[in-house]
């Protein structure tokens, strides 16, 4: 049954009232009794025992339960019926946390590929971080965010089947990883080529680090364009060498027919490169618009030259296997050899996880200003 605007307003008021009660309860009992850990880790609910409740505390808890039960009723969720007041409160608090979690997930969900360290790498991580107080705590999280590659359901969760179908059809993840590896190798070459041809030579000299970052973004975007076409050939049974040559020859011939202009065949690529360059160059202080316009034109010309030279054709190609393990999704990445065969074991394993930004927003929404010292935001970001 859909909620009316009146019930939505009621819920806002009820959850605001719940927040006030939670703050009062935290002052009386401390924040250790607020158990949201089960939402963010593999741990089960904490074994929490409330102290003896005097009449004032009983009244406070009862007021919280009355308010919470009204909210649950609005959502057509049965209220807890535990006769023990303390246990009833803890069970109801868990329900409220779950409601906040799924509400936040729908709004803030954003997913990434999180590289899973090998056993040797995990040992190295632990050796680098000997002072870690919690088992498994790692000082780094290798996350790769790729826009518009995962399909989510109405609740903000990954739709496994739809995501697999999307990747098999569009090759977005494979293309990005192929492009990313190659862009790292080319970013310095593009920097020196720009330095050599630019009429704004002081910009590369003054902003080398910034331009190297820009180069990686621009090269990745350009290589992805051609990588997707190569993966289409592989899907049709071509060997990697033949797939690369076909893409290189086809697009070089188009570039010649278009008198070495982007339009019309490369209009989409040009627009995306231009948008990236405008955004990133404008983020650098003290570069005027005339200089930015010149740099964009110079970048676009160099990208065309790189296409002619075959530098935008990815050399490293991957095959993916998706697998679902309980409530987690993994991608096993295999190298594709020139024979068309795959490596016998994955060269990389990735887990689909929430980005740190999404985790932060969801965690903040759930705890509602009351953080349990046994599981802080930092704990969530570094151990889960």
pLDDT in tens, 108-117: 999 999 999 8
Q: Could you tell me which of 176, 208, 178 has the C-alpha nearest to residue 192?
A: 208
Residue 1 has a pLDDT of 39
The DSSP-derived string for 77-98 is -PPP--SSHHHHHHHHHHHHHH
220-237: per-residue pLDDT in tens?
Answer: 999 999 999 999 999 999
pLDDT at 130 over 70: no
Residues 185-213, mean pLDDT to the nearest whole number: 95
Residue 64 has a pLDDT of 96
320-332: per-residue pLDDT in tens?
Answer: 999 999 889 999 9
Residue 140 has a pLDDT of 53
45-69: per-residue pLDDT in tens?
Answer: 777 878 778 899 999 999 999 999 9
CA-to-CA distance for 239 and 339, rounded, in angstroms? 7
Q: Which two tokens stand for residue 161?
A: 């089947």
Residue 313 has a pLDDT of 97
Q: How many residues are present in the chain?
A: 384
pLDDT at 2 over 50: no
**Banded pLDDT at 267 (limits 50, 70, 90):** very high
User: With contact defined as beta carbons under 8 Å apart, do 219 and 182 qualify?
Assistant: yes
**Banded pLDDT at 124 (limits 50, 70, 90):** confident
Q: Could you tell me which of 83, 37, 21 has the C-alpha nearest to residue 380?
A: 37
Residue 81 has a pLDDT of 85
Alpha carbon distances (Å) from 205 to 196, 202, 345, 372 = 11, 5, 44, 49
**Banded pLDDT at 138 (limits 50, 70, 90):** very low
**Banded pLDDT at 136 (limits 50, 70, 90):** very low
CA-to-CA distance for 123 and 81, rounded, in angstroms? 48
pLDDT at 42 over 80: no
Q: First and final CA of the chain: distance in angstroms?
A: 36
Residue 5 has a pLDDT of 47
Phi, psi of 93 (to 5 degrees): -60, -40
The DSSP-derived string for 12-78 is HHHHHHHHHHHHHHHHHH-GGG---HHHHSS-------PPPP-HHHHHHHHHHHHHHHHHHHHTT-P
Phi, psi of 329 (to 5 degrees): -115, 130
User: With contact defined as beta carbons under 8 Å apart, do 368 and 29 qualify?
Assistant: no
**293: helix, strand or coil:** helix
Domains of the chain, residue spans: 5-110+360-383, 111-354
Segment 256-261 long-range contacts (CB within 8 Å, at least 24 positions apart): 260/304
CA-to-CA distance for 261 and 233, rounded, in angstroms? 25
In this structure, the number of other CB atoms found within 10 A of the CB of residue 197 comes to: 12
Phi, psi of 326 (to 5 degrees): 55, -115
């Amino acid at each position: 049954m859909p909620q009316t605007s009146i019930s939505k307003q009621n819920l806002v008021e009820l959850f605001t009232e719940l927040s006030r009660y939670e703050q009062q309860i935290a002052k009386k009992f401390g924040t250790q009794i607020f158990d949201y850990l089960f939402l963010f880790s593999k741990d089960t609910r904490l074994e929490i025992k409330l102290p003896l409740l005097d009449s004032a505390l009983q009244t406070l808890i009862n007021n919280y339960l009355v308010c919470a039960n009204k909210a649950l009723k609005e959502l057509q969720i049965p209220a807890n019926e535990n006769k023990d007041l303390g246990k009833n409160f803890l069970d109801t608090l868990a329900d409220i946390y779950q409601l906040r979690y799924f509400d936040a997930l729908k709004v803030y969900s954003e997913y990434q590929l999180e590289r899973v360290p090998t056993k040797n790498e995990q040992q190295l991580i632990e050796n680098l971080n000997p002072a870690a107080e919690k088992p498994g705590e790692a000082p780094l999280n290798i996350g790769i965010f790729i826009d518009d590659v995962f399909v989510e359901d109405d609740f903000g969760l990954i739709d496994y089947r739809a995501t697999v179908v999307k990747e098999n059809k569009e090759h977005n993840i494979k293309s990005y990883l192929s492009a990313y590896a190659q862009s790292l190798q080319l970013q310095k070459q593009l920097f020196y080529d720009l330095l050599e041809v630019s009429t704004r030579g002081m910009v590369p000299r003054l902003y080398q680090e910034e331009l190297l970052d820009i180069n990686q973004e621009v090269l990745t975007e350009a290589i992805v364009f051609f990588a997707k076409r190569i993966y289409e050939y592989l899907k049709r049974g071509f060997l990697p060498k033949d797939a690369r040559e076909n893409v290189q020859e086809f697009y070089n011939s188009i570039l010649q027919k278009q008198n070495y202009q982007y339009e019309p065949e490369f209009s989409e690529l040009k627009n995306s490169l231009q948008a990236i360059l405008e955004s990133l160059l404008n983020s650098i202080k003290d570069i005027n618009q005339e200089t930015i316009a010149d740099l964009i034109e110079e970048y676009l010309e160099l990208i065309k030259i790189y296409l002619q030279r075959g530098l935008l054709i990815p050399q490293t190609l991957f095959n993916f296997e998706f697998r679902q393990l309980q409530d987690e999704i993994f991608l096993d990445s295999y190298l594709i050899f020139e024979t068309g065969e795959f490596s016998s074991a994955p060269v990389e394993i990735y887990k689909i996880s929430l980005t740190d930004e999404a985790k932060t927003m969801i965690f903040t929404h759930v705890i509602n200003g009351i953080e349990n010292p046994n599981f802080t935001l930092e704990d969530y970001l570094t151990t889960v």
